[in-house]
Structure 1
């Protein structure tokens, strides 16, 4: 999109709305990424997206080896349209290859410089309060009841868990995501780490959000802009 076109479209949106975009972008990060492996419960999937948006986490990776990731728009409150969601899915002929999508996701993250953490209650996992974020970090959460796959655990750099002291063995996944992100984002805010997205990324997302906000109005506005340029 040319700068002239972007300026034209900005003129069709209230300044308060545009300023809200700028304020949100000033707190967006790609230093932390969320990975959801075969999460199928609609309500939980949606709540996880809403939590990411609230904490300023831009990137969500969904592994769909067995289950489709289908968030409920009402629960997510539209959060999905403001996030960058990358899906990994394979049509598999047998269960022996069900690690393919997880493998693709982990490879993508490693290629982009991420350290991989997997949530697990195993004895060798670190309690959350001992986790220090000193670089780009992706956290894998598993499906309800099943948890993170053995393959993902084998590929992770570290395992982490949230300490619990009651009879219940686990938190709901959306609660777990909120607790882990609160800890990690709190560390980012407290440290001098350069965790915010770049100016180029801000511009790209701002442009995307402007288009999203215009919705059905966008096609006629684009035609009007092209007509004005042709005169």
Structure 2
């Protein structure tokens, strides 16, 4: 059994480039057994598996397997303690549905990959139909995003969109737009009665929602905070709202 041990190996060097967004044109990396098993269950297009020799027997099916040393696996992984496997997957091809009739989470310019992944995972847990992320939001295929999502991108569609186009489609199709803000025009989220299709928009960690979103929203909502903190982490706020509106 050949084991790749050299960092200068061409395959290893090319694969490691997938840590950078600019090289993730067609493929991305996942690490750990949980995400790999989720990918298998979702019948994702697994292009190659990099694995330690003691785990080779755990990979079944027609998947190209490359055995590497622990040092090389550490090069390909992002975490400090990789679990013995890194897989390269083809990027899925997703298209925004022509008709929107469900419950959606919209993330506008979310910068932190951990926040992004956590909110997608929460939308998955709450049974939402899809997540839309703006062009300026973090990459969901960042390894930190992937760890935070814990495979939720295999369960529900995640679409990267231009906010202007998405808002126009939501308005045209009568999807109620709820946007979070601390402005004086917003109301307590507990006063909102949600029926029919809707989209919940969470804004940027520092700036909140844009003026465009504020102008297009059907309802501006906030979470009352009786304590002294000025704001909530956006992922925490999303969790409260996502479950309250189902």
Scaled by the length of structure 1, the TM-score of the pair is 0.59
- Counterpart CA distance in 1 for 2:103 and 2:137 is 24
Question: What is the CA-CA distance between 1:30 and the residue it aligns to?
Answer: 5.7
Counterpart position of 1:59? 130
Counterpart position of 1:175? 236
Counterpart position of 1:113? 174
Counterpart position of 1:143? 204
The 1:140–1:68 alpha-carbon spacing in structure 2 relative to 1, beyond 3 Å, is: same
Question: What is the CA-CA distance between 1:69 and the residue it aligns to?
Answer: 3.3
Cα displacement string for residues 200-224 of structure 1 (whole angstroms, at most 9, x for unaligned residues): xxxxxxxxxxxxxxxxxxxxxxxxx
Counterpart position of 2:146? 73
Counterpart position of 1:45? 116
For CA contacts below 8 A with separation 6 or more, give which structure has more relative contact order: 1
Q: Which runs of 5+ in 2 are unaligned?
A: 1-40, 43-99
Question: What is the CA-CA distance between 1:109 and the residue it aligns to?
Answer: 1.9
Structure 1 segments (4+ residues) deviating >6 Å? none
Counterpart position of 2:155? 82
Please provide the CA RMSD for this pair. Answer: 2.0
- Counterpart CA distance in 1 for 2:166 and 2:230 is 28
Question: What is the CA-CA distance between 1:144 and the residue it aligns to?
Answer: 0.7
- Counterpart CA distance in 2 for 1:150 and 1:126 is 17
Structure number with the higher helix fraction is 1
Question: What is the CA-CA distance between 1:184 and the residue it aligns to?
Answer: 0.5
Scaled by the length of structure 2, the TM-score of the pair is 0.56
Structure number with the higher strand fraction is 2
Cα pair 2:116 2:138 within 8 Å, conserved: no
Cα pair 1:39 1:69 within 8 Å, conserved: no
- Counterpart CA distance in 1 for 2:149 and 2:239 is 14
Aligned residues: 146
Aligned pair partner of 1:164 in 211, 214, 225: 225
